[in-house]
Amino acid sequence: EAAINRIAAGEVVERPASAVKELVENALDAGAGQIDVAFADGGKTLIRVTDDGCGIAGPDLPVALSRHATSKIDGSDLLAISTFGFRGEALPSLAAVGRLTVTSRARGGDGACLHVAGGQMAEVRPAALTRGTVVELRDLFYATPARLKFLRTDRAEAQAIADVVRRLAMACPAVGFGLRDVTGGGDGRTILRVEAEAGDAHAALKARLAAILGRDFAQDALPIEAERDGLALAGFAALPTYSRGSATQQHVFVNGRPVRDRLLTGALRAAYHDTLPRDRHPAAALFVECDPHRVDQNVHPAKTEVRFREPAAVRALIVSALRQVLADAGH
Ligand code: ADP
Ligand code: MG
């Protein structure tokens, strides 16, 4: 059982940033309004995610930490996954690769805490907590030095963590996010702090993009809104004059989940083809919404690729919508 967990864990947890992604997605699934992430030493010694979501009742903690114990899917419709998580593997995987402590309090219940390390689950103990959940992962890969060796520098891993949190924050403007590097103890250094955006979805998204991608991006970015054949596209695309020397300001989301996908970034490039030189990259935050049955977002548990049923239709929608707004803006 412990060996199986470790193998499965390797699929889900490649590096500190993948652990952060799973934990923040769980907090979002739990309906959190505020999510705070802290890490030390590039996430290698500590990752802590605190949320104010629905919490886990004490007696349910051992269940939540067991494999495939998810409550988020009933098996009848594996494809129609509307929540972020669905595999029921993240917490047990994290418990298999590090020292995991979950402290939580469900509404109307008492706070409780459970620690797992080296495949050994401790007893559920009472804990003081007003609400929500705190998941603490210490010493990632401590039992598998070979894996630890493959991690990059603390700086690079911290960067990857920040990228993950920024992307999730872009996808969820109504949720407040905090990210702190607490290496060496103490309050640490704030890397990101965004307040929950109120107001209608469009205004909230614009405000969140301004907070994450910068006022320069948000100020002149062209709003995108298009729909065709059950595919919807929304978001903001920068004017060609705001283009960058790298593709780091291209953010694409499918059904609310951040993805990295060649088809989508290729479509973005094609849309700007006539307005940008080859060495310049357009900046954009695009949100594709479609029937979950028309996209497989689970090609690999730790990866963020997607596979569309009709890739050509997705590409055509992005290219035509972006070309249209660029043309309307005189480009
Ligand atoms: P999944 O998210 O795929 O269901 P996980 O292993 O990530 O599987 O989590 C297992 C279960 O633990 C979840 O289904 C949920 O019930 C519970 N859980 C995990 N994290 C949280 C959280 N932050 N708040 C509330 N419940 C949580
Ligand atoms: Mg999950």
Question: Counting runs of H as helices and runs of E as strands, what totals does the chain give?
Answer: 10, 16
Ligand 2 mean position, distance from CA 294 (Å): 22
| Cα 75 to chain centroid, rounded | 24
* Contact indicator for 1, 8 with CB cutoff of 8 Å: no
Structure tokens at 85: 């998580």
What ligand is nearest to the CA atom of residue 25? 2
pLDDT per residue rounded down to tens, the chain (331 residues): 555 565 566 667 889 999 999 999 999 999 999 999 999 999 999 999 999 999 999 999 999 998 765 555 555 444 444 444 446 688 988 998 999 999 999 999 999 999 999 879 999 999 999 999 999 999 999 988 888 999 999 999 999 999 999 999 999 999 999 999 999 998 999 999 999 999 898 899 999 999 999 988 888 899 999 999 899 999 999 999 888 888 888 999 999 888 888 899 999 999 998 888 888 899 999 999 998 888 877 655 556 778 888 889 999 999 999 999 999 999 8
284: nearest Cα among 163, 164, 170: 170
Residue 19 Cβ contacting ligand 1 at under 6 Å? no
Residue 261 Cβ contacting ligand 1 at under 6 Å? no
* Contact indicator for 144, 95 with CB cutoff of 8 Å: no
CATH number of 2-194: 3.30.565.10
Q: Determine whether 279 is exposed, middle or buried from the number of CB atoms within 10 Å of its CB (0-12, 13-18, 19+).
A: exposed
> What is the b/e burial string over 91-117, where b = at least 16 CB atoms within 10 angstroms of the residue's CB?
bbbbbbbbbbbbbbbbeeeebbbbbbb
Ligand 1 mean position, distance from CA 63 (Å): 10
Residue 80: the pLDDT is 44
Cα separation, 60 vs 97, in Å, equals 21
Q: What backbone torsions phi and psi does residue 237 show, to the nearest 5 degrees? A: -125, 135
Give residues with Cβ within 8 angstroms of 224, minimum separation 6. Answer: 233, 234, 235, 236, 237, 284, 286, 321, 322, 325
Nearest Cα residue to atom 1 of ligand 1: 88
- For the chain, give the longest Cα–Cα distance: 65
For 95-150, strand residue ranges (E) read: 99-105, 112-117, 120-121, 125-126, 132-138
- Name the CATH code of domain 202-328 (choices 3.40.50.850, 1.20.58.480, 3.30.230.10, 3.40.50.300): 3.30.230.10
- Paired strand residues for 177: 35, 194
Q: Is the dihedral of CA 307, 309, 312, 315 positive or negative?
A: negative
Ligand 1 mean position, distance from CA 115 (Å): 15
Residue 27 Cβ contacting ligand 1 at under 6 Å? yes
pTM of the model: 0.90
Nearest Cα residue to atom 11 of ligand 1: 64
Residue 89 Cβ contacting ligand 1 at under 6 Å? yes
Q: Which atom of ligand 1 is nearest to the CA of 55?
A: 25
Ligand 2 mean position, distance from CA 22 (Å): 6
| Cα 324 to chain centroid, rounded | 30
Ligand 2 mean position, distance from CA 25 (Å): 6
Cα separation, 171 vs 43, in Å, equals 22
Of 21, 22, 23, 26, the residue with max ligand 1 atoms within 8 A of its CB, to mutate for a pocket test, comes to 26
Residue 133 Cβ contacting ligand 1 at under 6 Å? yes
Residue 84 Cβ contacting ligand 1 at under 6 Å? no
Predicted ipTM?
0.99
Residue 51 Cβ contacting ligand 1 at under 6 Å? yes
Residue 282 Cβ contacting ligand 1 at under 6 Å? no
Ligand 1 mean position, distance from CA 156 (Å): 28
- Sequence spans of domains, the chain: 2-194, 202-328
Q: What is the DSSP letter of 173?
A: T
Cα separation, 158 vs 218, in Å, equals 25
Nearest Cα residue to atom 13 of ligand 1: 70
Q: DSSP of 317-331, one letter per residue?
A: HHHHHHHHHHHHTT-
Nearest Cα residue to atom 10 of ligand 1: 64
